[in-house]
Amino acid sequence: MAGSIENTKTIVRLAAPRGGVCTRAELLAAGVGRGAIDGRVKLGFLTPIRRGVYVGNALRNSSTPLHAAVMSVPASIVSHLTAAVVNEFPVEPPPLGSPVHLIAANGTNRRTDGGAGVPQNTGAR
């Protein structure tokens, strides 16, 4: 039981600052085992949004789609309007569900939408 609580704390510590988004690789590196990750997926605490990328359902917020997009496309950075919003430039924020703009490393072939496959949040924010 104590290991279960520690695993949950580790997941929250890693994912909370990024809208609930974390990767399997970083969870494993932090000591959360494969069985613990898979168990939290089965329980609905974590939802897979791309291969190896999860969102903690209770940790979702308005930045979840941004973090999901960036973590789903390796070696990418935000660009265009997304970068302006992230860097708090005086721009009109895009409507909810707008595309997240990324620049990916040459040779990366991963097209995602602005939500990066993140299911709509139906829980607490």
Classified as helix, coil or strand, 94 is: coil
Residues 98, 55 within the same domain:
no
Beta-carbon contacts of 65 under 8 Å, excluding residues fewer than 6 positions away, are 19, 100, 114, 115, 116, 118
Compute CA distances 24 → 7, 33, 62, whole Å. Answer: 13, 10, 22
**Domain range enclosing 70:** 62-117
For residues 80 and 101, the answer to whether their CB atoms sit within 8 Å is yes
The pLDDT confidence band at residue 33, using thresholds 50, 70 and 90, is very high
* pLDDT confidence of residue 86: 74
In a domain, 124, yes or no: no
Q: Give the lowest-confidence range in 18-27, 73-82, 105-114.
A: 105-114
Domain annotation covers residue 108: yes
The predicted pLDDT at position 111 comes to: 54
Integer CA distances (angstroms), 42 to 29, 46, 116, in order:
21, 8, 21
- pTM (predicted TM-score): 0.69
Residue at 80: amino acid letter: H
Whether 2 and 54 map to the same domain: the answer is yes
Please determine, for residue 113, whether its predicted confidence score (pLDDT) is greater than 60.
Answer: no
Higher pLDDT, 44 or 102: 44
pLDDT tens digit string along 49-71? 888 999 999 998 877 887 788 77
**Is 36 among the domain residues?**
yes
Per-residue burial over 31-53, b if 16 or more Cβ lie within 10 Å, else e, is ebeeebbeebeeeebbbebbeeb
Number of domains in the chain: 2
